[in-house]
Amino acid sequence: MDDQVADLMHSPHQALFTTATIGHVDLANRVALAPMTRVSATADGLPTDRIASYYRVFAEGGFALLITEGLYIDDQTSQGYLFQPGIANAAHAAGWQRVVDGVHDRGAKFFAQLMHAGSQSQGNPHTTITWGPSAVRPKGEQLAMYRGAGPFEVPQAMTTEQIGQVRAAFVNAARNARDAGFDGVEIHGANGYLLDAFLTDYLNTRTDEYGGHTAGRVRLAAEVCHDVASAVGDDIAVGIRISQGKVSDNHHRWAGGEEDAAAIFGALGDTGIHYIHTTEYRALAPAFAERGKSLAQLAKQHSKLPVIANGHLDDPRDAAAMIESGAADLVALAKPALANRDWPHRVRSGVPLSPDVPRDLFGPVANLKDWEVEAVQSTASARRST
């Protein structure tokens, strides 16, 4: 018997260490690094040495798939945070090439998450305007850990022309990611950012084809999925991340419950994408009631696609249970991965896990000196006045 097969048979939680495939992308195991905002790019959105090192460490640690933090998709309204990396232009794509090469050299696959922050933007040097489905302010306040303060801005309600611009920006960003060597792209349709804002009843009061009932509110996310899959889906994997909660409203739930889930995941499953990534506070918990199916289970049932599940799967037993039960095909880890950058190697070999999350949880830019932030804001002001 092959030594590697023998090790697998005797490893704890062996369901996590079988191979998987998403689209045409073959994965060595079923453990992914979840996308986490690092805000450690240059002011112009280029990936830095720190970013390259960050992802390389997880590839060395045994994660089969890494998903980037959200990358902004245009040089207009999509950026969400100062020092957020982008994939909006050729310079961004060129900058990511060496990062991708470093990940590939260590045996992992790499997906780029494509993000338009919408009305939850709290740091964009290109504009002071935010876009949303309607002129409705997000709940809650901006995040101090990302140098935000006070309530979010009231967004500008988007015109159909602006919706078309966003659709085109997602396609352009996907092509840039493909050209940079990424194995796939993940459309960010979660956490209250633009596509999720369209999906959210109280943020979307439109009366045109992009508003009203659930089928109208999911339309933009479905169109973006279809556009991107049609543009690059033969070359790289394409998926979308979906949640109920938001950065500004953690407790939000779809009012229509499982009926909404059926409509949303059914529509997304018909777009030609390859997977859905669900993120909930607890991935194993019922999505809508004390008993019932998890969001991951509902996504799998109604989309008929492979599912990545994220949400407090810190315990390897819980992570393995998601795979063993068929609720998900992969698990994506966030804080437990930060505490254990070699989580897959540790779990597979039975080495104890550390519960301690590093102090740099939110990246180095949370501690920027005032003059550095003022320099970025000054640049933004100059751009807006020209």
Helices 257-269 and 295-303 cross at an angle (nearest 10°) of: 50
What is the distance between the alpha carbons of residues 26 and 304, in angstroms, rounded to a whole number?
19
Q: Which of 55, 81, 193, 275 is catalytic?
A: 193
Q: According to the 3-state scheme, what is the secondary structure of 100-140? A: HHHHHHCCCEEEEEEECCHHHCCCCCCCCCCEECCCCCCCC
What is the distance between the alpha carbons of residues 312 and 334, in angstroms, rounded to a whole number?
8
Active site residue 72: no
Whose structure tokens read 């909930």?
A: 280
Strands annotated E in the chain? 20-22, 25-27, 31-33, 65-72, 109-115, 131-132, 156-157, 184-191, 237-246, 275-279, 307-310, 330-333
Give, in order, the Cα–Cα distances in Å from 137 to each of 155, 275, 365. 7, 31, 26
Residues annotated as part of the active site: 193
